[in-house]
């Protein structure tokens, strides 16, 4: 049997007492771009972090291509939120991208010219090769996001997790990310993206996951991303402007 | 001047200078990672926490052996980090307050124990009070040998694990994602800080040891945007501070080594803040002046051009 890129069974996570995720179960199809959508505090980032074992889970079981994550690390790429690191770190763009190769390098070994070549190619894929030597604090927010994407590309994974890659980036970067996502899809890779902009969900993603502590709905975008399902996810805090499609949405108070 | 040279020719002084230089080097290197991981105060807490550990090690063994002190300081450091972690996780107290609580408790306990030892009449205890502010002159050749070995071990570990420590300092989440044992490496870095503290305990003392960990690293950050170079520079600044501080102290005026070393390190820091290229105050002022002049020049040029156009029309 062909194992799915990611299967999660009965995942629950809690910070302190309050559950952030409860009984989440799903199986991800291969080669799809998947958007994870839900209100603030719905556990979107938590889902990714728990799947990667970055935070402890209360219960649940994660398997990646049929095996536990610990055995499949090299198949997984991760793009954390940009704000999760201090960009005033003494290093340059190329060096950060090279970090994507560390998992393949093993202990003690220093990255050499082969790793730098891969990193350079990944920088080129996000249109940042001209900035290879730039100190990372000298980059704009969008450029920093692209560096993180290039680092994930350097991991040469089959399954990617991206935590809000579209937040606070300029239009050029947004376009670069979308092009990149489609290229990954063309190579048969699976990408899960935490996303906050409902207006672009239909345009960017094949599948969508609606999440609000519980898994509300998960399936192909055209069937799942309906006004009805969104109302259930956001608890009636949305106003639909467009009658025919649900492409125009307004958040109604937070 | 000839006095100084005479002192330098004393082999005992040469050893002590060498030892303090190695100490500065290794604390600068491990301090760089502590600083980048935003654990500057952790270094302070660990060095203060080392005092009761060292005192208990002395009380139990009755001997001044660096190896036993290392065990004691490491145990105390472990207890301190555990205490800080426990308070932060299980109460609403933030890490800075937890650090302050634990640091002072351990240091208070250390002083009580130290006083107890001094009144115990143990003939072997002389020199233990120097652990507060350090007295390099009281070091023996055997101490220096052990210091050298431990320093080389510390620098060796940081060299071997440079790539891993870099990723851990920059992006621990990503490091954990690709399977690094982040919790273990956190503890390893803590342990290396404790090692540096123990190495420095005779020369610099527990009170000011944190300065030798952090100040060279902060100074080095001003001069470079490359981590490798920064670590080397921090080591060099630390070594220079240790060397000069010890030299002045050994020069006969009996000043404690710790404060002198810290003052030297801080002078290097001030020089770095003012004079470093790009990040330094001076260079920033110059850059701003240059940009302002350039802008003004361009504005004048455009005004001239506009006037010229008007006259031709």
What is the 3-state secondary structure of A47-80? HHHHHCCCCCCCEEEEEECCEEHHHCHHHEEEEC
Which class for A243: exposed (0-12), middle (13-18), buried (19 or more C-beta within 10 A)?
A: exposed
Tokens 């342990």, located at residue: B191
Contacts of B110 by beta carbon, 8 Å cutoff, 6+ apart: B48, B50, B51, B52, B54, B55, B206
Per-residue pLDDT, B247: 86
Number of Cβ within a 10 Å radius of residue B114: 20
Helix (H) or strand (E) holding B84: helix B66-90
Number of Cβ within a 10 Å radius of residue A71: 13
Question: Residue B312 pLDDT > 80, yes or no?
Answer: no
Per-residue pLDDT, A252: 45
- B193-206: average pLDDT: 86
Cβ–Cβ < 8 Å for A208, A37: yes
CA distance B35 to B53: 24
pTM over the 0.80 mark: yes
pLDDT level of residue B266 (50, 70, 90 thresholds): very high
- B11-35: average pLDDT: 90
pLDDT level of residue B224 (50, 70, 90 thresholds): very high
pLDDT level of residue B252 (50, 70, 90 thresholds): low
> What is the longest distance spanned by two Cα atoms in chain B?
102
Using CA coordinates, name the residue in chain A closest to B157: A108
Cβ–Cβ < 8 Å for A167, A196: yes
- B40-65: average pLDDT: 87
What is the 3-state secondary structure of chain A? CCCCCEEEEEEEEEECCEEEEEEEEEEECCCCEEEEECCCCCCHHHHHHHHCCCCCCCEEEEEECCEEHHHCHHHEEEECCHHHCCCCCCCEHHHHHHHHHHHHHCCCCCCCHHHHHHHHHHHHHCCCHHHCCCEHHHCCHHHHHHHHHHHHHHCCCCEEEECCCCCCCCHHHHHHHHHHHHHHHHCCCEEEEECCCHHHHHHHCCEEEEEECEEEEEEEHHHHCCHHHHHHHHCCCEEECCCCCCCCEEECCC
- B210-228: average pLDDT: 93
Per-residue pLDDT, B16: 84
Written as six digits, the tokens of B174 are: 């990503």
Q: Which residue has the higher pLDDT, B95 or A247?
A: B95
A54–B170 C-beta distance less than 8 A: no
Which candidate from A52, A78, A110 shows the least CB-CB separation from B163? A110
Which candidate from B163, B170, B224 shows the least CB-CB separation from A89? B170
> Which bin fits A221, alpha (ψ -120 to 50), beta or left (φ > 0)?
alpha
Q: Give phi and psi for A28, each to the nearest 5.
A: -95, 130
Does the complex come out with an ipTM higher than 0.85? yes
Which of B38, B36, B6, B58 has the alpha carbon at shortest distance from B202? Answer: B58
Distance from CA of B176 to the nearest CA of A (A): 7
Per-residue pLDDT, A247: 46
Using CA coordinates, name the residue in chain A closest to B169: A89
Q: Is B179 on the interface with A (CB under 8 A)?
A: yes
Which domains are assigned to chain B?
A: 2-214+249-254 (1.10.3470.10)
CA distance B255 to B15: 19
Radius of gyration (Cα) for chain A, nearest Å? 18
- 3-state secondary structure (DSSP) of residue B184: helix
- B94-111: average pLDDT: 92
Per-residue pLDDT, B273: 94
Question: Residue B66 pLDDT > 50, yes or no?
Answer: yes
Helix %, strand %, coil % for chain B, to 5?
Answer: 85, 0, 15
Which of A155, A233, A209 has the alpha carbon at shortest distance from A25? Answer: A209
Q: What is the DSSP letter of B224?
A: -
Helix (H) or strand (E) holding B122: none
Q: At what angle do helices B11-36 and B2-9 cross, to 10 degrees?
A: 90
Which candidate from A85, A90, A103 shows the least CB-CB separation from B178? A103
- B198-227: average pLDDT: 90
Per-residue pLDDT, A240: 58
Residues of B in contact with A91 (CB under 8 A): 166, 170, 225-227
- B65-83: average pLDDT: 86
- Mean pLDDT for each 10-residue chunk of chain A (254 residues)? 84 86 92 92 90 89 90 90 91 94 89 92 92 93 92 93 90 90 92 91 92 91 88 75 47 42
- B85-91: average pLDDT: 86
Per-residue pLDDT, A237: 65
């Amino acid at each position: 049997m062909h194992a799915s890129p990611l299967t999660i069974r009965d995942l629950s996570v809690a910070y302190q007492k309050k559950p952030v995720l409860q009984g989440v179960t799903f199986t991800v199809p291969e080669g799809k771009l998947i958007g994870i959508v839900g209100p603030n505090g719905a556990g979107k980032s938590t889902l990714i972090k728990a799947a990667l074992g970055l935070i402890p889970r209360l219960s649940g079981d994660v398997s990646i291509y049929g095996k536990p994550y610990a055995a499949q690390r090299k198949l997984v790429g991760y793009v954390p939120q940009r704000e999760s690191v201090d960009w005033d770190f003494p290093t340059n763009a190329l060096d950060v991208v090279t970090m994507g190769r560390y998992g393949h390098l093993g202990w003690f070994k220093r990255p050499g010219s082969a790793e730098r070549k891969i990193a350079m190619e990944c920088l080129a894929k996000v249109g940042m090769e001209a900035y290879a030597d730039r100190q990372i604090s000298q980059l704009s927010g969008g450029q920093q996001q692209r560096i993180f994407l290039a680092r994930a590309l350097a991991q040469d994974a089959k399954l990617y997790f991206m935590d809000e890659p579209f937040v606070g980036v300029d239009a050029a970067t947004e376009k670069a990310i979308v092009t990149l996502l489609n290229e990954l899809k063309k190579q048969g890779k699976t990408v899960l993206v935490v996303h906050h902009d409902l207006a672009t969900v239909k345009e960017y993603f094949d599948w969508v996951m609606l999440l609000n502590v519980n898994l509300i709905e998960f399936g192909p975008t055209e069937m799942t991303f309906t006004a009805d399902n969104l109302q259930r996810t956001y608890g009636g805090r949305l106003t639909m402007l467009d009658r025919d499609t649900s492409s125009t949405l307004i958040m109604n108070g937070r | 001047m000839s006095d100084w040279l005479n002192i330098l020719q004393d082999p005992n002084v040469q050893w002590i200078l060498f030892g303090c230089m190695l100490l500065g080097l290794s604390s600068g290197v491990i301090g760089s990672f502590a600083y980048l991981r935003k654990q500057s105060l952790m270094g302070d807490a660990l060095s203060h926490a080392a005092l009761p550990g060292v005192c208990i090690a002395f009380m139990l063994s009755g001997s001044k052996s660096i190896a036993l002190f290392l065990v004691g300081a490491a145990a105390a450091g472990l207890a301190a980090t555990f205490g800080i972690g426990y308070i932060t996780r299980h109460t609403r107290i933030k890490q800075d307050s937890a650090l302050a609580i634990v640091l002072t408790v351990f240091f208070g306990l250390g002083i009580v124990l130290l006083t107890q030892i001094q009144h115990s009449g143990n003939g072997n205890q002389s020199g233990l009070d120097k652990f507060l502010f350090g007295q390099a002159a009281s070091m023996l050749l055997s101490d220096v040998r052990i210091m050298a070995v431990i320093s080389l071990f510390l620098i060796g570990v940081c060299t071997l694990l440079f790539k891993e420590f870099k990723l851990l300092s920059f992006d621990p989440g990503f490091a954990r994602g690709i399977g690094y044992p982040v919790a273990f490496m956190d503890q390893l870095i803590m342990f290396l800080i404790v090692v540096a503290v123990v190495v420095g305990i005779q020369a610099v003392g527990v009170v000011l040891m944190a300065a030798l960990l952090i100040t060279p690293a902060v100074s080095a950050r001003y001069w470079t945007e490359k981590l490798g170079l920064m670590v080397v520079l921090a080591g060099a600044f630390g070594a220079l501070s240790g060397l000069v501080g010890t030299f002045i102290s050994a020069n006969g005026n009996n000043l404690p080594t710790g404060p002198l070393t810290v003052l030297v390190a801080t002078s290097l820091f001030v020089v770095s803040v003012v004079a470093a290229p790009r990040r330094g105050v001076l260079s920033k002022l110059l850059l701003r002046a240059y940009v302002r002049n350039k802008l003004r020049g361009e504005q004048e040029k455009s005004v001239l051009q506009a006037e010229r156009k008007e006259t031709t029309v």
